[in-house]
Amino acid sequence: MNNLGQKVIYQIYPKSFYDSNNDGIGDLPGIIQKLDYIKKLNVDMIWFNPFFVSPQHDNGYDIANYYEIDSRFGTMADFEELVAKLKEINVGVMLDMVFNHCSTDHEWFQKALAGDEKYRKFFYLRKAKPDGSLPNNWQSKFGGSAWAKFGDTDYYYLHLYDPTQADLDWHNPEVRKEIYRVINFWRQKGVHGFRFDVINVTGKDERLIDSTGDIAQEKSLYTDTPIVHQYLKEMNQASFGQDPNSITVGEMSSTTIANSIKYSNPNEHELSMVFNFHHLKVDYQNGEKWTKAPFDFMKLKQLFTQWQEEMDQGAGWNALFWNNHDQPWALSRFGDTGIYREKSAEMLATAIHLMRGTPYIYMGEELGMIDPDYSSIDSYIDVECKNAFKELQQKGISEKQAFDIVKSKSRDNSRVPMHWDSSQYAGFSSVTPWLMPTDQDQINVKDELAHGEIFNYYQNLIKLRHNEELISDGHIRMFLKDDPQVLAYERFLDDQPSKLLVFNNFYGQSHTVTLPKAFQKQATQVVISNYDQQDINLQETLTLRPYEALAIKI
């Protein structure tokens, strides 16, 4: 079985990595051309966002054909070459599987529309209520009703997301068989990793009753329901579970620790690990994404403490991450994009890379990328942020304020092209890219590899995860829980006297902490530090410099 604790996974958003044919869009041959860079970083696997055939209403998460590569990204031959070349450098492939829904362009939906009874049963088709109102009152996560008219019939179909993303009815065993066929097709191509998009919303109740109108109660009608565990066990057995080297991760929408333990405990035979997003909502005012507020550090700490300690106690497994294609850059949210950009980037990396779980690095994070400095809403592509910009103004918020909010939270922030050099289009393409880079004169691969420190620091963190048993296999316990500035934890193994103590100062001011008695007056060995800290004898107190990260063995 894979030692998940030794793995580090790199996420590539293909559209934005490297454009090999100068059409403004990143592609698979572009990734092949940059494999030396991947090799240098020394990660174990790459998670690729979807590059399957798609009308791209939701950036490829609306799949029209699960078996073919979208021509804008390349060909199947390109994919096969990519898998083979990654294998040569011992890097595995993780594909993004979107099975809660498919595109309304998919032949299953088109056949259903044409009246084919078999395929009509692939979707949630319901008639209006006797009073003519919609089948139920559920809301789409992208706004508006979750129901859309099914062609010119008197039926509606369910879409928890965009109307072009029709929810698949997992209650139908034929649907599940088709899904397992897709996974097995890619396994035959040498794929051992799978990320399952919003997989915990597949277990809707067959009755689809009305909600009370309360958002949390409504989510409970289709999120983390007991049948999801059955589905995952069946999927495991019918596909990736047959491969001892498989690594799977479920993206879990609004999930709980108890369910996440079940999803990822090896004895349950469901998934290897889970993504949860609670820690990335600590800068949401009153739980609202489209607000601008400083992050709540104590809340962040409390969430890390709960998820780390309780998942450990229940033998569950966390996917550890700050960034992905749906989030603004963590450095712009939790760090310092100015004088302490390097130190805060390294501190954020240390905080999660030394925790219990499997760390994910989103492309560009290892350079210390920050949110683009756009001055107009016209620079954004993402439909979610454009809608939010309009809605905020409709609520009476000024255009300037609305723009400031959108600028801080847009998904496009992290989707900007990778900065390869300081040229006009950041070395990504020689034509205008689909989304414009900014700040590439300060932050880019060429400069970072020549005289930066962040990339090198990430390499060291990866090396530690590969080699240090306390990090890959150890338990975790948080300490200094009430400290308003420092996240601290210990990693330990039941059969070893040595421990790893990790300190992360989340602010730009020096800060002194009083150490627990058990750690005082101990000789130490510095394992990693973003300030070139020499070995120290721990006393009663320890002073951390601005954004200092320090891991020591006692």
DSSP string, 310-328: HHHHTT--BEE-S--TTS-
Identity of residue 206: E
Nearest in space to 552 (alpha carbons), one of 432, 485, 468, 462: 468
3-state secondary structure of 155: strand
Other Cβ atoms closer than 10 A to 18: 23
Q: Where are the beta strands (DSSP E) in 174-309?
A: 193-196, 247-251, 273-275
- Residue 523 pairs in a beta bridge with 537
Please, what is the Cα angle at 107 between 103 and 113, to 5 degrees? 90
d(CA 321, CA 305): 15
> Interhelix angle for 383-394 vs 399-409, to 10°?
150
Q: What is the pLDDT of residue 1?
A: 47
Q: Determine the Cα angle at 274 with ends 272 and 279, to 5°.
A: 150
Helix spans in 49-106 (H): 76-88
Strand runs labelled E in 337-456: 358-362
Q: How far apart are CA 134 and CA 154, in angstroms?
A: 11
Which neighbouring-strand residues pair with 11? 47, 362
Q: In this structure, are residues 77 and 29 in contact, taking their beta carbons and an 8 Å threshold?
A: no
Write the burial class of residue 482 (CB in 10 Å: 0-12 exposed, 13-18 middle, 19+ buried): exposed
Per-residue pLDDT of the chain (554 residues), as tens digits, is 469 999 999 999 999 999 999 999 999 999 999 999 999 999 999 999 999 999 999 889 999 999 999 999 999 999 999 999 999 999 999 999 999 999 999 999 999 999 999 999 999 999 999 999 999 999 998 888 999 999 999 999 999 999 999 999 999 999 999 999 999 999 999 999 999 999 999 999 889 999 998 989 999 999 999 999 999 999 999 999 999 999 999 999 999 999 999 999 999 999 999 999 999 999 999 989 999 999 999 999 999 999 999 999 999 999 999 999 999 999 999 999 999 999 999 999 999 999 999 999 999 999 999 999 999 999 999 888 998 999 999 999 999 999 999 999 999 999 999 999 999 999 999 999 999 999 999 999 999 999 999 999 999 999 999 999 999 999 999 999 999 999 999 999 998 999 999 999 999 999 999 999 999 988 889 999 999 887 788 889 999 999 999 999 99
Q: Do residues 283 and 293 lie in contact, with contact meaning Cβ atoms separated by under 8 Å?
A: yes
Q: What is the model's pLDDT at position 2?
A: 67
Please tell me the distance from the alpha carbon of residue 205 to that of residue 332, in angstroms, as a whole number. Answer: 40
Q: Which amino acid is located at 474 in the chain?
A: G
Question: Could you give the CA distance from residue 196 to residue 95 in angstroms, rounded to a whole number?
Answer: 9
Phi then psi dihedrals of residue 9, to 5 deg: -115, 135
- Going from the C-alpha of 124 to that of each of 309, 379, 532, 552, the distances in angstroms are 39, 37, 58, 54
Please give the sequence-ordered ranges of beta strands (E in DSSP) within 294-430, or none if there are none.
319-320, 358-362
Alpha-carbon Rg for the chain, nearest whole angstrom, is 24
CA angle 454-551-265, nearest 5°?
95
Q: Is 251 tagged catalytic?
A: yes
490 is a catalytic site residue: no
pTM over 0.75: yes
Tell me which of 96, 251, 270, 490 is the catalytic residue. Answer: 251
- Comparing CA positions, the residue from 76, 80, 78 lying closest to residue 66 is 76
Each as own residue / partner, the long-range contacts of residues 518-525 (CB below 8 Å, 24 or more positions apart, any chain) are 519/554, 522/554, 523/554, 524/552, 524/553, 524/554, 525/552, 525/553
Alpha carbons 6 and 471: distance in angstroms, whole number: 8
**Which residue among 44, 197, 283, 468 is the active-site one?**
197
Structure tokens at 487: 């996240």
Distance (Å, rounded) from C-alpha 40 to C-alpha 165? Answer: 38
